[in-house]
């Protein structure tokens, strides 16, 4: 949904160039609803269809299938609801339809799959059966990132642009928008410009890729939240950008431990260096407090799941779109790596994976409550 490591890996690469009947308790007033991991997809060794190199993104498609973008192996792996392998989309390389260091992915409302393949020239789109349809938008640098599939042929993504202002100074423009297979957003949910300082990596991160989380529903509704340690706020928008509602929770200031801060700093700086990032001074200073909101998504009933960053276990507040807090939920964690989750919501199931696993990467399967 960390810092959130999935978002961070996308930053590194960019600098280089969504409930019905399942498991769990019935929502009520006797504390948080308990959610359980019932299965996982992925093995350390064995069948290559289940061995992941580096998961970059997961998406629940409108066809009920789970799509996993494996950046390390340059492919999209597809599984059914039981975890059985269905098909592979693409293979590593620079040829037609091949993927070289793919950065992000969205499964669109019409069932097609769009992959951010900036090192291949831009956005590659594949049909529901995996057939390559071609380059649908050209981006050789600063492509839309952190993609979330929406309705019809659209996805929501964050785009960072570095420009020169009238006085010759550098500015950074950050937009979260709806893309309909074009190079410019059809609608914007966030648009902010600020000075760009190549010596201040921390500010760049916090104002762009590590600054926001968002999700899109099957009908095009979008939720956007600022990743901040002092504010709990989620804004809901119609697909055209019209404001719908605001979800506001009570902030809980939770300091990070010294070890958390040191580990976060070392992880980010090491990853940036290993990926050959240039144009900025690689020095990052983590926020000393945990972020209030670290993920948002929609389930099949249209409820909004807001992941809190202040808990030691994966914890969610579940809201109606009208702004009513319905219940809280917690996942019974099988391991500490669930604290660095990226979560994705299908109609009846939550899928999640860790960017910093204890051993090897896998996708956890968690049924959602009625």
Asked if residue 136 is part of any domain, the answer here is: no
Asked if residue 177 is part of any domain, the answer here is: no
Beta-bridge mates of residue 127: none
Over residues 157-181, the pLDDT tens digits come to: 999 999 998 888 999 999 999 999 8
Over residues 270-322, the pLDDT tens digits come to: 766 655 565 667 888 999 999 999 999 999 999 999 999 998 889 999 999 99
- The predicted pLDDT at position 4 comes to 42
Greater confidence (27 vs 88) lies with 88
- Averaged over 25-40, what is the pLDDT? 78
Beta-bridge mates of residue 247: 234
- The predicted pLDDT at position 2 comes to 34
Contact 207, 192 (CB under 8 A): yes
Asked if residue 173 is part of any domain, the answer here is: no
Asked if residue 224 is part of any domain, the answer here is: yes
Beta-bridge mates of residue 99: 92
Strands in 341-345's sheet, in edge-to-edge order, are 39-41, 363-367, 349-354, 341-345
Q: How many domains does the chain have?
A: 1
pTM of the full structure: 0.89
- What is the number of alpha carbons within 13 Å of residue 65 lying toward its C-beta? 23
Asked if residue 60 is part of any domain, the answer here is: yes
Asked if residue 302 is part of any domain, the answer here is: yes
pLDDT band per the 50, 70, 90 thresholds, residue 25? very low
Greater confidence (226 vs 140) lies with 226
- The predicted pLDDT at position 265 comes to 87
Asked if residue 355 is part of any domain, the answer here is: yes
- The predicted pLDDT at position 241 comes to 98
Q: Domain range spanning residue 61?
A: 5-86+197-367
- The predicted pLDDT at position 14 comes to 43
Over residues 101-132, the pLDDT tens digits come to: 998 999 999 999 999 998 899 999 999 999 99
**CB neighbours (10 Å) of residue 237?**
24
Asked if residue 135 is part of any domain, the answer here is: no
Strands (E), 42-131: 55-60, 66-70, 75-79, 85-89, 104-107, 113-117, 122-126
């Amino acid at each position: 949904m960390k810092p959130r490591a999935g978002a961070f890996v996308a930053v590194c690469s960019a600098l280089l160039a969504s409930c019905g009947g399942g498991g769990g308790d019935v929502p009520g007033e006797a504390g948080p609803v308990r959610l359980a991991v019932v299965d996982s997809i992925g093995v350390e060794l064995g069948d290559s269809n289940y061995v992941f190199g580096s998961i970059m993104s997961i998406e629940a498609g409108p066809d009920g299938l789970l799509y996993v973008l494996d950046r390390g192996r340059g492919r999209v792996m597809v599984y059914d609801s039981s975890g059985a392998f269905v098909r592979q989309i693409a293979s590593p390389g620079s040829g037609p339809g091949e993927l070289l260091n793919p950065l992000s992915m969205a499964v669109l409302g019409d069932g097609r799959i769009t992959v951010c393949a900036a090192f291949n020239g831009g956005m590659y789109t594949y049909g529901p059966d995996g057939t390559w349809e071609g380059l649908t938008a050209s981006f050789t640098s600063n492509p839309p990132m952190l993609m979330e599939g929406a309705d019809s042929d659209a996805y929501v993504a964050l785009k960072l642009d570095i420009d020169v202002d009238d006085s010759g100074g550098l500015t950074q423009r950050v937009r979260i928008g709806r893309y309909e297979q074009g190079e410019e957003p059809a609608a914007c949910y966030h648009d902010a410009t600020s000075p760009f300082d190549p010596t201040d990596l921390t500010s760049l991160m916090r104002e762009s890729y590590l600054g926001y989380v968002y999700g899109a529903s099957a009908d095009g509704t979008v939720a956007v939240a600022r990743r901040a340690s002092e504010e709990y706020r989620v804004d809901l928008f119609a697909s055209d950008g019209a404001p719908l509602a605001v979800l506001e929770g009570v902030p809980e200031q939770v300091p990070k431990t010294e070890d958390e801060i040191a580990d976060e700093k070392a992880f980010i700086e090491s990853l940036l260096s290993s990926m050959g990032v240039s144009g900025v001074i690689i020095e990052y200073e983590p926020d000393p407090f945990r972020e209030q909101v670290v993920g948002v998504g929609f389930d099949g009933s249209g409820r909004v799941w807001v992941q809190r960053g202040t808990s030691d276990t994966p914890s969610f507040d579940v809201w109606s779109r009208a702004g009513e807090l319905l219940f809280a939920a917690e996942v019974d964690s099988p391991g500490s790596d669930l604290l660095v989750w990226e979560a994705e919501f299908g109609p009846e199931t939550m899928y999640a994976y860790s960017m910093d696993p204890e051993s090897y990467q896998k996708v956890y399967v968690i049924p959602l409550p009625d």
